[in-house]
Amino acid sequence: MNTLFMLSKILLLTLIAFCVFIQSVNAKKLVIAHRGASGYLPEHTIPGAVMAYSFGADYLELDVVMTKDGHLVVMHDLTLNATTNVEDVFPDKVNNKGKYNVIDFSLNEIKLLKVNERSSRNGKTAAFPSRFPIKSQLFKIPTLEEVIILVKGLSKSFGRNIGLYIELKAPEFHRKHKLDPAKELLSLLYRYGYKEESDAIFIQSFDSATLKSLSFDHKTSIRLIQLIGENNWRLSETDFTFLKSKNGMEEISQYAVGIGPWMNQVVTGIDSSGKVQITDLVANARKHNLLIHPYTFRADRLPSYVSSFEELLQIFFNEVQVDGVFTDFPDLVVDYLKKNPSN
């Protein structure tokens, strides 16, 4: 009897320890390298991904769009104007709006282009003046498959894994052109062994219909994140005003494990007494056990209510207690979390 009691006690303690371990793993604050180490090198480039890995980022954020021949390439915009030399290489492929849509190019044509630091809307000046020189064109547009091969290679060489955090850009737009980026993405990920909820991968999108389809129709076990924008951004037919509500968060919890809100939707400022103004979105998300991964934390573009990047991180990690952040400067966030391990 005593032996059975002791065994039961040991089993119970082991189970408790395991649960505590799982909670500690899940509680880890994630550093998500936004488009690679984009504060230092042009976004969505192989060198930028390597730099993000070397900084110790937990996840590499990748936006994907499709070429006209159905390949997934890593590119934030649906157009090539702001980050490549497309106007020099293919001057005749401009559309009637003065844009060069990725979807109008084959992969072979995309590979002829060079990537530069992001330009401003006028196309002549840098969007972030203190970053990599805008005239330097040293890099190529990678396919998603190339980045996956890179990440797996780095993990093998250095013994540290880095996860993938993939955004499906404008799936509605692609579907209108008879392309299905969600289906192609799942096929590619499954081929490289990304299948389970426990795998180091998230899929995110502003389009709730696409995420619901991934969950309910494709029945994927990969963790899904609902990005939250504003209706006037016209990113999707998704009603973001509804999603930010209590009922909206309940709906999200049926198909996703978390949300990716704009940071201004989480904190609106600091009042005269020094109290951080946290929106209801946080409580609404927590009520349904949703992860909160806000975007985008930039050391060279701070909100008006803080005077330093460290202060911004302190607010979001200490006051709001978010589960991770998207950042162009993953090294700074990694360093902050090392210096503040209680976060």
User: Domain extents for the chain?
Assistant: 30-256
Q: Which of 114, 63, 65 is nearest to 86 (CA)?
A: 114
Strand locations in the chain (E): 30-33, 59-66, 72-74, 163-168, 201-205, 223-228, 258-261, 267-270, 276-278, 291-292, 324-327
Residue type, 194: Y
Do 146 and 46 contact (CB within 8 A), yes or no?
A: yes
State both tokens at 131: 């970053």
Tell me the catalytic residues: 34, 76
Q: Is the pLDDT of residue 12 over 90?
A: no
Give the integer Cα–Cα distance in Å for 325 and 314: 12
Provide the mean pLDDT of the chain.
Answer: 93
DSSP 227-262: EE--GGG-S-S--HHHHTSHHHHHHHTTT-SEEEEB
Per-residue pLDDT tens for 250-283?
A: 999 999 999 999 999 999 999 999 999 999 999 9
Give the integer Cα–Cα distance in Å for 341 and 336: 8
Rounded mean pLDDT of 304-324? 98
State residue 140 phi and psi, 5-degree precision.
-115, 160
**Cα–Cα separations (whole angstroms), residue 129 to 17, 38, 133:** 50, 13, 8
Give the integer Cα–Cα distance in Å for 317 and 118: 29
- Token pair 């006028």 is at which residue? 122
Over its C-alpha atoms, the chain yields an Rg (Å, rounded) of 21
The CATH superfamily label for domain 30-256 reads Phosphatidylinositol (PI) phosphodiesterase (3.20.20.190)
Q: Is the pLDDT of residue 113 over 70?
A: yes
Give the integer Cα–Cα distance in Å for 125 and 144: 28
Do 77 and 83 contact (CB within 8 A), yes or no?
A: yes
Do 44 and 141 contact (CB within 8 A), yes or no?
A: yes
Q: Is the pLDDT of residue 11 over 70?
A: no
Using pLDDT thresholds of 50, 70 and 90, give the confidence band for residue 17. very low
